[in-house]
Amino acid sequence: MTTSSNNQTKPPLVVTALSAIGVVFGDIGTSPLYAVKEVFGNHLAIDKVHVLGVLSLIFWALVLVVTIKYAIFIMRANNKGEGGIMALMTLALQSSKDKPNRKAFIISMGLLGAALFYGDGIITPAISVLSAVEGLQIIAPSLGHYVLLITIAVLCALFTIQAKGTGTVGKLFSPIMCLWFGTLGTLGLINILKAPTVLAAINPYYAVHLLMELGWHGYLIMGSVVLAVTGAEALYADMGHFGLKPIRYAWFSFVFPALLLNYFGQGALLLENPKAVANPFYLLAPSWAMYPLLILATLASVIASQAVISGAFSVTRQAIQLGYSPRMNIQHTSGDEMGQVYIPSVNWLLMVSVFIVVLSFQSSSALASAYGIAVTGTMIVDTILAFIVIQGLWQWKKLASFLFLGTFITVDFLFFSSNSLKIPSGGWLPLLIGLVIFIIMTTWIKGRTLLSGYLEDRRVLFEDFEEQITIQRPIMVKGTAIYLTKSLHGVPQVFLHNFKHNHVLHQQIIVLTIVTTNEPFVDRAHRIKIRTFGHQKQFFRIKFYYGFQQNADIRQDLTLCAQEGVNIDLKQASFFISHEQLSFRQRSPMPKWRRALFLFLYHNASNAIDFFRIPSERVIEIGIRIEL
């Protein structure tokens, strides 16, 4: 009966697909604003051979990268319905439990992909909004000098409203993006009818012929062709919100055809009017439609930027839960959708970074030099991790798995290497951002590992501690003491520290550990694991299990303990939390250049009281000095 009820309440495939259009395809959907313009900006002659060749390259890039690689293959590698770089990494780790070197490689690759995502996340809002507002230079050249000002104003409004959440605004996303893709397809079709010969570009001969004819120059333009597939990873990353079938349905039935019509329409326009290369997207439209198109393009670029910003919040939360990032203040902006979160520190850092990028590069053409290298780097990481999943979990035959790796890694490296030539003219920016974030995350992991090792070396078993208190016979006080600890075994240091100085024990002592699993969600039925120690049944070790997409709520989940026979009166309970004062000894395994960074991250991380939603009025913090 339950299954039947769930099926009845599940939204129809078409409805879910329409919702996905508003969120998933914003980035790739705004690529027609600048992709064709940038390809021909590489001093490429505008004639039939070159136009058909470029269109063929764009067509097959969309087919190979977006359709085959992501929509057909990689989206199958979901972690209980969740996608994205962190989900793919945790899947790959499942096949490497007894192989420490392979595990370290997978984590490094996953962190690298996440770091590059942030580089992409800074450039996407800048280039999307800039390219949309630059339509003013075509529509009203006299207003062209207001492009930067309007861009900054739009981005400022976008980042400011993040604190209010995307729930209300999100309801407008789908209609706007459906209108956007409908407009893309309509404008493209109108121009294709004027020069239908462009449809011949579906033949891969024109792509191969162009690359062979241009030689080195053809290799260079691949760095601009990749702009047509930016946002491809969003199909995979947002799969947890909408599901596999709706995203595929939306792509194959509506988004992909609309993009192809628009790209081919721009090619047809260039064949009819080579001067339209100044901005082939806006010049697709008749003069009376340009202002409405400008407004629609700006809205679409804002939605594309919103998706990237929300993605940054989501990736950051996953990194925190998995222990790859310091704790940060996470605010839930919706009572219905647990995936809608807001992280103030990430939001304001992104905003400042995007402003700096816009003011430094000042045009979408200049930014195109920086765009692409982070995207292609992430694509390489996805291919490698997917290959590990295919071999280790799916156990494909060697020939099939290596055929997958060989095909897509070749395409990815072709795009990445051609984009690497842009490093001196702006490609260094996302690489620098990615490098900084990668260093921060690996430093945090290294420091946390040292801290865990320190605590493990000083671990005292409950059995040994019980013998000690049997001899000392400490004073017993009423109530429950809850000791929060990272350690999964033994008596925590904060407990020993408190007992050493105060010589008292509570009637009920609970050692509580928060465990983040490699699964996206853990239901409440499997949330708790309780173990009892001691002859007096006085000591309890409780573990709360959460998925990497979930946030801990200790106040709420402690009520579940009553179902397991452990009654906790929060009004009579005291939470003991350690406040570690860290320092490094001279010969610490932590490299000297990382020490100050780790101490800064550790002491500026969000406190456990707020992060785990512990009743602050019941908390006692105990200082502990630790030398790593």
The pLDDT tens digits for 266-289 are 999 999 999 888 889 999 999 888
> Which of 250, 184, 183, 214 has the alpha carbon at shortest distance from 57?
214
pLDDT at residue 336, as a whole number = 46
For 188-222, how does the pLDDT look when each residue is reduced to its tens digit (9 = 90+)? 999 999 999 999 999 999 999 998 988 888 888 88
Q: 475 by DSSP, 3-state: which?
A: strand
User: Within 10 A of 260 (CB to CB), how many other CB atoms are there?
Assistant: 22
Mean pLDDT over 485-495 rounds to 80
Homologous superfamily assigned to 12-446: Amino acid/polyamine transporter I (1.20.1740.10)
pLDDT at residue 257, as a whole number = 96
Confidence of residue 337 (pLDDT cuts 50, 70, 90): very low
Mean pLDDT over 80-93 rounds to 83
Indicate the helix (H) or strand (E) that contains 309: helix 290-321
pLDDT at residue 243, as a whole number = 81
pLDDT at 126 over 50: yes
pLDDT at residue 169, as a whole number = 53
Mean pLDDT over 149-157 rounds to 90
Report angle CA 284, 285, 287 to the nearest 5 degrees.
130
User: What's the rounded Cα separation, in Å, for the pair 482 and 619?
Assistant: 9
User: Taking the mean position of all CA atoms in its chain, how far away is CA 628?
Assistant: 32
For 597-625, how does the pLDDT look when each residue is reduced to its tens digit (9 = 90+)? 988 988 888 888 878 888 888 888 887 88
Do the beta carbons of residue 483 and residue 513 sit within 8 Å? no
The CA–CA distances, whole Å, from 93 to 102, 121, 514 equal 8, 26, 21
Secondary structure (H, E, C), 82-95: ECCHHHHHHHHHCC
For 357-384, how does the pLDDT look when each residue is reduced to its tens digit (9 = 90+)? 888 888 887 887 777 788 888 899 999 9
pLDDT at residue 60, as a whole number = 95
* Domain regions of the chain by residue span: 12-446, 460-627
In single-letter form, the type of residue at position 299 comes to L
pLDDT at 3 over 50: no
Q: What percent of the chain has pLDDT over 90?
A: 21
pLDDT at 17 over 90: no
User: What's the rounded Cα separation, in Å, for the pair 130 and 132?
Assistant: 5
User: Within 10 A of 441 (CB to CB), how many other CB atoms are there?
Assistant: 23
Secondary structure (H, E, C), 174-232: HHHHHHHHHHHHHHHHHHHCCCHHHHHHHCHHHHHHHHHHHCHHHHHHHHHHHHHHCCC
The secondary structure of residue 454, as a DSSP letter, is H
Helices and strands in the chain: count of H runs, count of E runs: 27, 8
pLDDT at residue 69, as a whole number = 92
